[in-house]
Amino acid sequence: MHNQQSDLIRDRINNGPMTFAQVSIVSLGFLLNCVDGFDVIAISVAAPSLSQSWGISPVEVGYILSAALIGMALGAMFLAPLSDVYGRRKIVLFSMFLTGISMIVTGFIDRSVELMIFVRAVSGLGIGAIFASAATFGSEFTPERFKNLAVTVIISGYPFGAMIVGPIAAVILPALGWQMLFIFGGVATLVLFIVTYWLLPESVQYIASSNQDSDVKMRTINKVLKRIKRQPIDQLPTLEGHREIKAANVKSLLSAELMVTTIKLWIIFFMGFLGIYFIISWIPSLFVNSGWTMREGIYALTISNLGAVFGTTCIGLITTRYKLRWPISTFFAATGILMVYFTLSKPTELMMLYILIFLIGIFLNGAFSAMYAVAARTYETSIKSTGIGWCAGLGRTGAIAAPIIAGYLVALNFSMYSLFTVFALPVLLASILIATIKV
């Protein structure tokens, strides 16, 4: 049940235009995810150079690729939910600092697979928390009618950041080596940390459900409402049945009324991550293995992420008019069909390969980004970060598994084409499942 305070504050946020301050908060969420996308894809792009210079096997590369994803799962499941206890702002700032420092450290590691795996996992810890927390504060500061769009725009920062890695890597890798790619990303993250410190307010809905003194709450809430040009509230009604918020309140995600939906969401997130991370982790290497140049492989990844940015924006606009489940189900189904077609048609022309990868990028990432809006709508304020965090965290086990599964299949001489059908199956299952959720 939503409490009275949250409803009162929600009404204030809903009844008014989208102000510059609110747009800047959503933009900040977008930029935070840009940094995350940059970091995760940087290792995919750097993988062939790293593999060559260190002389390591495809299986070891698979484990390095998955290390950040393990950290991201843990960050989403255990660090992001702390923002339901300590506030969105503190956890976002801590996570950004952790990510920035660990990215810089990555650039200084020399020929130690074990250390690389550890530092990539630490980097992932911060990224996982940012990803879930950014979607949470974006949804909490946005009027109801723009909520789906705001969340998908924030999530689209991830593929946008991933997309810009390609052109930057094409300049940095030949001239300065793979190490500078991470040092550059880490410095950019720390600069954004300073910007976030000054620009990101605490979520008013979080403040309302916190255990602060009533007068302090009122002053803080009204200060933030004034900043987003909303009328102040004149009282804090006594909460009925107010419960203390506990970290990672996972039991409440599995309450009688939420259990079936939560389990469906976890499965869909797992399937979506499996498909996405097969593509973003292995596309450059698969292209090289299939006889194309490294540059062509990087362009393929860039094109896939360009499609992702287009797809997430598209579905964000569609879901301002239509219920979430049907566009998401359609986008997932289209992805599965395109992936099977990729296997059957075995395109050898570079332009046809790029077109198919672009279309898969549109539909797969579009569907997946809108799943965060589904999670944001499913869970109330007191468990919102926990809900989104566990969807992203458990789902990310699919992201962890994808590069390793693909690595073993490549070692078993699976072709680039046949791999696409293997990873089409979970995407088609996600399409069926989301159609059964009433959002």
What pLDDT, in 10s, does the model give residues 179-188?
898 999 999 9
Predicted confidence at residue 425, as pLDDT, reads: 94
Nearest CA-CA partner of 425 in 311, 274, 302: 274
Give, to the nearest 10 degrees, the angle between helix 178-199 and helix 88-106.
Answer: 160
CA atoms 258, 260, 264, 269: torsion sign:
positive
Residue 2 pLDDT more than 50? no
Predicted confidence at residue 433, as pLDDT, reads: 95
The mean-pLDDT minimum among 103-107, 281-285, 417-421 falls in 281-285
Predicted confidence at residue 362, as pLDDT, reads: 95
Residue 280 pLDDT more than 70? yes
Predicted confidence at residue 296, as pLDDT, reads: 85
SS3 237: coil
> Mind listing the domains of the chain with CATH numbers?
4-237+249-434 (1.20.1250.20)
Quote the CA–CA distance of 71 and 154 in Å, as a whole number: 21
Residue 74 pLDDT more than 70? yes
The mean-pLDDT minimum among 37-46, 148-157, 301-310 falls in 37-46
Chain centroid to Cα 436, Å, comes to 23
DSSP track, 170-219: HHHHHHH-HHHHHHHHHHHHHHHHHHHHHH-PPPHHHHHTS-S-HHHHHH
The mean-pLDDT minimum among 5-14, 106-115, 119-128 falls in 5-14
Residue 1 pLDDT more than 50? no
Q: Indicate the average pLDDT of the chain.
A: 85
Predicted confidence at residue 243, as pLDDT, reads: 45
Residue 55 pLDDT more than 80? yes
Residue 427 pLDDT more than 70? yes
Nearest CA-CA partner of 4 in 243, 244, 239, 241: 239
Residue 8 pLDDT more than 80? no
Average pLDDT for 272-287:
82
Predicted confidence at residue 187, as pLDDT, reads: 94
Which residue pairs from 57-61 have beta carbons closer than 8 angstroms and sit at least 24 positions apart in sequence? 58/285, 58/407, 58/410, 58/411, 59/407, 59/408, 59/411, 60/113, 61/285, 61/407
Residue of 189 and 36 predicted with greater confidence? 189
pLDDT digits (tens, 9 = 90+) for 388-405: 889 988 988 888 788 778
Winning range, highest mean pLDDT, from 80-94, 138-152, 212-226, 328-342: 328-342
Predicted confidence at residue 371, as pLDDT, reads: 93
Average pLDDT for 157-184:
84
Q: Which helix (H) or strand (E) holds 34?
A: helix 20-54
Q: Which helix (H) or strand (E) holds 286?
A: helix 259-289
| Helical spans, DSSP H, in 319-415 | 325-345, 350-378, 384-411
Average pLDDT for 315-325:
86
Quote the CA–CA distance of 66 and 63 in Å, as a whole number: 5
Task: With cut-offs at 50, 70 and 90, classify the pLDDT of residue 131.
Answer: confident
Residue 310 pLDDT more than 60? yes
Average pLDDT for 341-348:
86
Predicted confidence at residue 239, as pLDDT, reads: 52
Residue 5 pLDDT more than 60? no
Residue 4 pLDDT more than 50? no
Winning range, highest mean pLDDT, from 156-160, 202-206, 296-300, 423-427: 423-427
Q: Tell me the pTM.
A: 0.79
